[in-house]
Structure 1
Amino acid sequence: MKNQLKIYSDMKSLVTMALLACMLPVASFANNDPKLDQDTVIIELNNNSKIVIVTKSKEDLATLENYDINQMIRDLNAQLTDSVEYMEIKDGKAYVNEDDEVELKDWKINDDEIRIKLGGVEVDVDPDKVDDWDEDDWSERKKVTYEAERVDRTTHHFNIDIGLNNWLEDGEFPDANNAPYSVKPFGSWYVGLNSTNRTWVGGPLFLEWGMGISWYNWKLEDADYVIQEGSERIEFNALPANISGQKSKLTASYINATVVPMFDFSRGRRKITSIESGGFRIKKYSRKGFRFGVGGYAGYRIGSHTKLVFKENGGKRDKDKEKDNFFLENFRYGLRAQVGWKGVELFATYDLNEVFSPNRGPLNADGQNAGLNAITFGITL
């Protein structure tokens, strides 16, 4: 390999360089060239090739530990061709693209910079550069698309679950019996905000785990019923004749912990599109291949309320909102299934315990306690 790797920029530790030398088959440090001063580190390989690291001062070596030297060597070995005679890395990590050009693909975040990551989109902002940015800079933006083959042991991201809620009674939806507690399928929204970690276990097996907050919204099919807390149980009572219901719903919020083993047959490989302009960098991550998993979750109720929107005697719309526990079970636990294909991720959850406390749910047509279990399905952003 006749290529030379020169790293100009902040370097952090001679110790890392020494470790690299120990891992190479034959490596020695020499400085016999009079043209090179004491701030030059030379690694001579056993095939008459060498790696040269030039720094402006010894203090610059202090940041060498910021760099993954082993990964650089692996990437260079896999991507460099005989047509590439020189490569310069000025910041972060660089790789050779199809045109034998060096493209910056990783942006080191300093203390005063901001990183926002939501789902498959990451935005990095450098406030010092943003002040000088204008719309003309966007026309000169840099766009790079590449595949990330390397799998980190654990990655972290935020995502949003958006879905529809309902509940099952003995495995059936209550509207099959025209029950007053039947839920309107569209409009009963579920929203979850999740902080998720993804840990690679081995092969195609990953473990997704984390914490989040979710909101159940059960919107009644018949808005002429009001949800009220009775003396012994939750009640779904008909409104007086002079009141016309427009919307009637029950909302409950929970803080949750989730663990889902995932089989990812692309083994974590992702397609990454990076756009850089001035102090902005936008990176979009798209997963590859098929993946699925089934796991569990547990949650604790942190709030609940009912909302009734109505008209009295045909007058103006009015609303009534009441906060209470409504005999809701404080704890929830159940199963979560996830399935994805490339950039699409679907989920479904089912509470194994009932929504309301034992024998505190509504009465069914037979006068028995209706055991209702929450069910949700939707998409993850």
Structure 2
Amino acid sequence: MEIKKISIACNKSDIFSVTMKNTLLKHNPMKTTPNLQKSAFLAVLIMLSGLSVSAQSKGSGNLTKQDRTVEPFTEIEAGSAFVVKLSQGEPQQLSISADDNYINNIETTVENNRLVITSSGIKNPSAMNIYIKVPNITLIDLQGAARLDSDGVLKGASLTIEASGASKTYLELDVMELKSEISGASKVVLLGTAQAHKTEVSGASSLDALKLSSQAVDAEISGAAKAKIYAVSEINADLSGAGSLIYFDNDEIRKLNKPGNYTLNFQNPETPGEADMEGVISSTESGDSTLINIGDVSVQVIEGNPTKVTVGGNELVVDEDGNVKFNRKRKDRFDGHWGGFDMGINGYLNSDNKFDMPQGYDFLDLRMEKSINVALNFWEQNFNLIGNQFGLTTGLGFEWNNYRFDNNIKIDRDDELGIVGMELDEDGVGYFKSKLVVNYLNLPLLLEYQTNRFSKKNSFHIGGGLLTGLRIGAHTKMVYDDGSKQKDKDRDSKGFDLNPFKFSLMARIGWGKINLYGNYSLNTLFKDGHGPELYPFAVGITLAGW
């Protein structure tokens, strides 16, 4: 093993001294045939997921309120289906409102100045409301199906917003510096003022900041994301994929939806009044619409009206308050279980079907509970084979594999050695997160059997097949604190030597509305000879199916 001392320059010209351990890689041929142990491992994980779901109870319907005392904090992290009401003031207060048989299942702990709100063993609660009053807030991290609304204006020097999953955020702000990272299918609405705003909007998420006045905005919009922005002086925008930007320019609403880098300069009002924006907002809400048709899939988005997603005869309606109504038309043909929104965990196994990393690759050890797998399977096509109970399902979907590393490391690629790890250790710097994110466009071939085609609640289904994925993106992300919270996101021109395709065994099983899934890759994560022999897997549950 050869040890080299190197320096890495970060975004703010801080120089970190790091030690990089480069290990010559073994040449392992790509595996393409699963063995019995791999199949058994996948089956056990699916069974355990099923036991966890069936063990949950239901809310009593008797709401109770509980005041809690915790250590001081300036950051908030919440997931699940919590509804958070946040206000600014003194003294610090924290209250929980939930079913009396669930309230003790809600945990509120403070770790490294961050209030973390979690739950366990909860199903069908009547309410999970969190009321927070805090003197100062610097970071909001919202995940899952959580919702957070501000009660009054939140003031401060800087604020970071992280929204993912299907979360919803509504904030009124008065800050100097604002950072927002919006992904998944989340929705963020911002009002007030922010002198400088840097935002990343990706996936199928949306940002509505037309009523947030900023001097300058830097925006990175990708995937099928949508952003509405108001800037007094300048917008620097980077659009990719099907991302779109709506902005205000001298009494007119304009829209960009072509990929590219844009620099936009304005002479907009410093603090536009309600009269200035009234016509603009109403014009946008009544006139800005999008209609997309792909086969039997129709997506209709009209500002001010509910969003409608139609797949064949099925319709998913989402109103402006986030309420979802699913209208399913009874069909006389086979209907499989591919389309929907999946969430679970992902990881990888070595050539011996174990979690241990090969020698010299300990830096790839994962923090499994934070390694999240997300899939948006937006199109499904079914073919009946036998009696409307056995058929073939295919379609298309996007998948995000988040590999959260257990150690404070950063991975990189060496032209001779392939994938290498860099251990980060700098006095006065706190490291919070380091991960590799890999994105795929997936095409399934799924054979499925179901016992009762026409029942939503009393039907068992099981299926298996091949899932082919085309890698469409990859990046690393590191979060650290050197006096202020920083994020470094790096992309590699050669994709970190990841394989461009992923061929996975796929299994889906469920009863009624519950659907569990598991995927196991037949080929390695990294290219042959450029990294360790690791086989990706993912297991989880379908949160919303169609």
Q: Partner amino acid for 2:373?
A: Y
Change over 3 Å in CA distance of 1:230–1:153 after alignment to 2: same
**Using a 3 Å threshold, how does the CA distance of structure 1 residues 262 and 317 change in structure 2: closer, same or farther?**
same
- The answer on whether the counterparts of 2:345 and 2:368 sit within 8 Å (CA) in structure 1 is yes
Aligned runs of 1:282-297 on 2, under 5 Å? 286-297=456-467
Larger radius of gyration: 1
Tell me the secondary structure at the aligned position of residue 151 of structure 1. coil
1:321 paired residue among 470, 476, 489? 489
Distance 1:212 1:297 in 2: 10
CA deviations 1:178-227 (Å, max 9, x no partner) are 922111111211111111123221133121211111111100012x1111
Unmatched segments (≥5 aa) in structure 1: 1-108, 131-142, 271-285, 362-369
Contact 2:336 2:382 in 1 (8 A): yes
Listed as ranges, the gaps of 5+ residues in structure 2 are 1-297, 320-324
User: Which residue of structure 1 lines up, in the alignment, with residue 195 of structure 2?
Assistant: none
Letter in 2 for 1:229: R
After TM superposition, the structure 1 = structure 2 runs for residues 70-219 of structure 1, keeping only pairs within 5 Å, are: 115-117=308-310, 122-123=315-316, 148=330, 151-152=332-333, 158-170=339-351, 171-174=353-356, 179-194=362-377, 195-203=379-387, 204-219=389-404
| Paired letter, 1:225 | I
Tell me what 1:310 maps to: 480
Match of 1:269 in 2: 454
SS at match of 1:360: coil
**1:162: Cα distance to partner?**
1.0
Distance 1:175 1:221, change over 3 A: farther
Per the alignment, do residues 209 and 227 of structure 1 end up closer, same or farther by CA in structure 2, a change over 3 Å counting?
same
Deviation readout 1:344-375 (Å, 9 max, x if unpaired): 000000111111111111xxxxxxxx211110
**Percent identical residues:** 28
Rounded Cα–Cα distance in structure 2 between residues aligned with 1:119 and 1:153: 13
What's the secondary structure of 1:180's corresponding residue? helix
Secondary structure at the aligned position of 2:524 is classed as coil
**DSSP 3-state at the match of 2:529:** coil
- Relative distance call for 1:121 and 1:162 in structure 2 (3 A) is farther
Greater share of residues in strand: 2
Q: Distance in 2 between matches of 1:146 and 1:169?
A: 43
User: Which of the numbers 426, 438, 442 marks the counterpart of 1:241?
Assistant: 426
- Residue type at the aligned position of 1:298: T
CA distance in 2: counterparts of 1:226 and 1:152, whole angstroms? 50
8 A contact 1:117–1:158 mirrored in 2 = no
Distance 1:330 1:176, change over 3 A: closer
Alpha-carbon contact 1:336-1:348 (below 8 Å) kept: yes
Look up the SS of the partner of 2:499 in the other structure.
coil
Distance change (3 Å), C-alpha of 1:263 and 1:239: same
1:208 maps to a residue whose letter is T
Per the normalisation by structure 1, the TM-score is: 0.53
Match of 1:250 among 429, 436, 440: 436
How much does 1:305 deviate?
Answer: 0.4
TM-score normalised according to structure 2 size: 0.38
Q: Which residue of 2 aligns with 1:342?
A: 512
Aligned-partner SS, 1:186: helix
Higher relative contact order (CA 8 A, sep 6+): 1
Q: Contact between 2:336 and 2:448, CA under 8 Å: does it hold in 1? A: no
Q: Which amino acid aligns with 2:420?
A: E
Moved more, 202-211 or 257-266: 202-211
CA 1:115–1:147 in 2, change beyond 3 Å: closer, same or farther? Answer: closer
Cα contact 1:151–1:200 (8 A) shared by 2:
no
Q: Is this contact kept in 2: 1:166–1:218, CA < 8 A? A: yes
Q: What is the rounded CA distance, in whole Å, between the counterparts of 1:337 and 1:155 in structure 2?
A: 13
Q: Which residue pairs with 2:140 in the alignment?
A: none
* Alpha-carbon RMSD: 3.5
Distance 2:340 2:457 in 1: 14
Q: CA separation of 1:215/1:157 partners in 2, compared to 1, >3 Å: closer, same or farther?
A: closer
**Deviation digits for residues 66-124 of structure 1, max 9, x if unmatched?**
xxxxxxxxxxxxxxxxxxxxxxxxxxxxxxxxxxxxxxxxxxx9x99985248997346
Q: 1:358 to 1:260 in 2, by over 3 A?
A: same
Partner residue, 1:276: none
Structure-2 separation of matches of 1:115 and 1:156: 20
Q: Encode CA deviations 1:148-192: one digit per residue, 9 max, x unaligned.
A: 5x5225689841111111111121113799922111111211111
Tell me the distance in 2 between the aligned counterparts of 1:200 and 1:287. 21
- When structure 1 is superposed on structure 2, of 161-170 and 116-125 the one drifting more is 116-125
Aligned partners of 1:174 and 1:181 also within 8 Å: no
> Alpha-carbon deviation of 1:310?
1.4
Q: 1:146 to 1:250 in 2, by over 3 A?
A: closer
8 Å contact kept, 2:382–2:391: yes
Q: Indicate conservation of the 8 Å contact 1:253/1:301, yes or no.
A: yes
Once residues 513 and 507 of structure 2 are traced to their aligned partners in structure 1, the CA distance between those partners, rounded to angstroms, is 17
Q: 1:155 to 1:162 in 2, by over 3 A?
A: closer
Shift of 1:331: 0.9
Would you say the 8 A contact 1:118–1:158 is kept in 2? no
Give 2:473's aligned amino acid: G
Are residues 230 and 205 of structure 1, via their aligned partners in 2, closer, same or farther at CA, if it must alter by over 3 Å? Answer: same
Asked if structure 2 preserves the Cα contact closer than 8 Å seen for 1:118 and 1:159, the reply is no
Asked if the contact 1:297–1:335 (Cα under 8 Å) also holds between the matched residues in 2, the reply is yes
| Corresponding letter in the other structure for 1:197 | Q
Tell whether the 8 Å contact from 2:516 to 2:541 is kept in structure 1 after alignment. yes
Determine which of 522, 537, 543 is the counterpart of 1:375.
Answer: 537
